[in-house]
Chains A and B, each alone.
Chain A
Amino acid sequence: MKVNGSDYLVFDKEAGVWREDPEQAVRDDVEKHYWRNVGRAILKDWRLYLMLVPMILVFLFWRYFPMYELLRSFKVDGSDAQPVAEWAWKGFSNFRALLMGTGANASLSQDFWQALRNTFLLSFYGLLFGFPMPIILALFFNEIRSNGTRSILQVLTYLPKFMSTVIMTSLVVMLVKGATNTGGLTAPPGVISQLLTHLGLIPQEAANTGLLRSAQYFRAIYQVSGIWETAGYDSIVFFAAIIAISPTSYEAAQIDGANKWAQMRYVVLPSILSTIVIMLITRIGSMLSIGYEKVILLTNNLARDNGDVLTTAQVVSTFAWQTSQSSGSANGQPGIAAAAEMMNNVVGMLLVIGANTISRKASNVSLY
């Protein structure tokens, strides 16, 4: 009930009369002087806002300004040194060239679709083979009752995670390299290639040319090295979920006569299901952000004369990288490259947001 323009009356039950609401004056004041109050709050806590400044500058300069550079995807290719504003607008033709290029752009478009397909397949196989591994490891770790033994095993399995991509890929490159000609003699291929040939898993010729020069083996190498690198570390989250299960749950199941498999099925899996779902959703959300560094390092810096490995190894970000730089007589096409990254990253963002929304709806757990 409004009286005299701005004051509200509230009914005082104890006294049985209408009174003015004393808080309303404050509320009105807050509303009327919103911006003045904001200014006062900021002035009062100016130190707090000063603390934010370095963080905001770092993110603005090196996370948001690159997004502005993405505008080049709508522009005519010019020199790298020119700022975005100096390039002429071109509309969507860069995107058209990539998605359905014909004539001069036919091979470009073909390469882009191949890169997109490779990106999806590398992620998909990563999901299929890489995702269950940490869960299995965590289940196994749970079986080891001796804390000392388990810690040692766990620490060893985390180890590869902390080695750089350069170290990891250098090891892979040397272990699966082809036969080399050293001082007139031919040395056999790398240790792992040799081992696989002896086991009859790969033909001798493939080992001799080098596994990383052939499109056929790249995906397997990528996944196996990926599992080796991250499975141990990723098992930490699942292991933490498993040890959080109360021992009484197991005891109850045992009294009911549940054997190991029944305990797994009815006690452990339901308890860690929410963790599994969340990790799966995160994984799906980051499907399109395949590590470009690893691909570049495994394929001899995307060399075109390195066998046919690029037909399975090239992902969208490395495709863009290669397209943006001039090679031989061909000029770099940074506009086209930016368009490729734009599409990849917009779809990637939609996946992340979608995954996060599903996660929030399904389990009340939001990742961000």
Chain B
Amino acid sequence: MKRKLEISELIFKIISYVLLTAFALCCLYPFLYALFASISGRHAVEYNEIVLLPKAVQYEAFSWMFQQDTFWNAYSNTLFLTIFGTVWSLVVAVLGAYALSKKRLMFRKFFNFFLVFTMWFSAGIVPQRLNYLATKNVFHSVGIMDDKWMVVIAMGMAAMNIILLRNAFENVPGEIEEAAIVDGATEMQVLRRVFIPMSKSTIATVALFFAISRWNGYFWAKEMVSNDWEKPLQVYIRAKLDELVYDPETINYWNKNYATDSVIYALIVCSIIPILIIYPFIQKYFAKGANAGGVKE
């Protein structure tokens, strides 16, 4: 049925377009601003003269940054934590969720409660820190001296992600599993050949959640890793911010032709570029995750 738009509908439509466009630009603009400010001249950045395009373009903030060994080191640490952390979290979560999805699992209720209770009650950051200090000693005593491995193994597990996976596995039809078992498949084969292929999109979603939280991880990476050369990019960015924005001494004696802020903006750009590159391909999984995580009946 094709009908003319009523005046109230038309007004609402126009308001929607205008406000949504404005909000979307607000979401995008800070990142564009960061890019422009990182390649603009010192005066333009310090006197807020950048609006829509960079001014007095310089690339020295980037080249200064690229010359720092500490920057590359931090970047490689972030890659290390993201790759190994995501793989570790995903393996643990998939195995656990698979077992929990089985109705025949004894004490299933108890295991589920064990998981869900951590969503209700968390000890808080002070006990967590004390606990990390204790487990760090355990790690050192078994010969894992690298704090990075400790971050990989101890951090980033979320009960919500396991529950998402468990629900996906529960939705795999039982007949397919039975058919596989009749054909002589072992438990691992059933998981690998049946359950994982059939829940691919949920697994991708959960993997992305893990990867993003690893890439963005800051607080515990800072607290748990004692050596500066093992710290990831987020910690490095914040340390540079403390040095170049909060410390008036540095700024007062700064004599380069780019602003101290440009260095931070350049670091921000380097940190978000990998996310921006893969973002268009993965955003549909995020939408899926938001819906699955929001409401479960």
Interface residues of A (CB under 8 A from B): 38, 41-42, 45, 47-49, 51-52, 54-56, 58-59, 61-70, 72, 80-81, 83, 137, 139-141, 143-144, 152-167, 170-171, 173-175, 177, 180-184, 187-188, 190-191, 194, 228, 231-234, 236-237, 240, 251, 254, 259-261, 275, 278-279, 289, 292-293, 296-297, 300-301, 317, 320-321, 324, 334, 337-338, 341-342, 344-346, 348-349, 352-353, 364-368
Contacts and interface: CB of A to CB of B under 8 A. Distances in A.
A366 to B, nearest CB: 8
Contact of B157 (A59, A154, A260, A342): A59
Interface string B131-170: 1111100000000000000000111010100110000000
Contacts of B188: 47
* Majority SS at the chain B contact face: helix
A228 B153 contact: no
A165 to B, nearest CB: 6
Give the top 8 A-B pairs by smallest Cβ distance, nearest first.
Answer: A55-B96, A341-B124, A164-B216, A66-B123, A69-B127, A143-B16, A156-B24, A260-B8
Interface in B7-62: 8-9, 11-13, 15-17, 19-21, 23-28, 30-31, 33-34, 46-48
Contacts of A366: 296
A55 B92 contact: yes
Contacts of B111: 52, 56
Given A321-B125, A341-B126, A159 B279 contact: yes
B105 A320 contact: no
A259 B6 contact: yes
B184 interface: no
Interface stretch (B63-71, B172-180, B198-206, B237-245): B237-245
Nearest to B93: A55
B99 interface: yes
Q: Determine the interface band of chain B, counting residues with CB < 8 A from chain A.
A: 35 or more
Contacts of B80: none
A254 B118 contact: no
Given A166-B216, A171-B30, A349-B120, A140 B20 contact: yes
Contacts of B181: none
Contacts of B16: 139-141, 143-144
Interface of B: 1, 3, 6, 8-9, 11-13, 15-17, 19-21, 23-28, 30-31, 33-34, 46-48, 91-93, 95-96, 98-100, 102, 104-106, 111, 114-116, 118-135, 153-155, 157, 159, 162-163, 186-188, 212, 215-219, 234, 237-238, 241-242, 245-246, 248, 251-255, 259-261, 264-265, 268, 271-272, 275, 279-280, 283, 286-287, 290-291, 294-297
Nearest to B131: A66
Contacts of B33: 191
A247 B13 CA distance: 17
Nearest to A363: B297
A342 B186 CA distance: 45
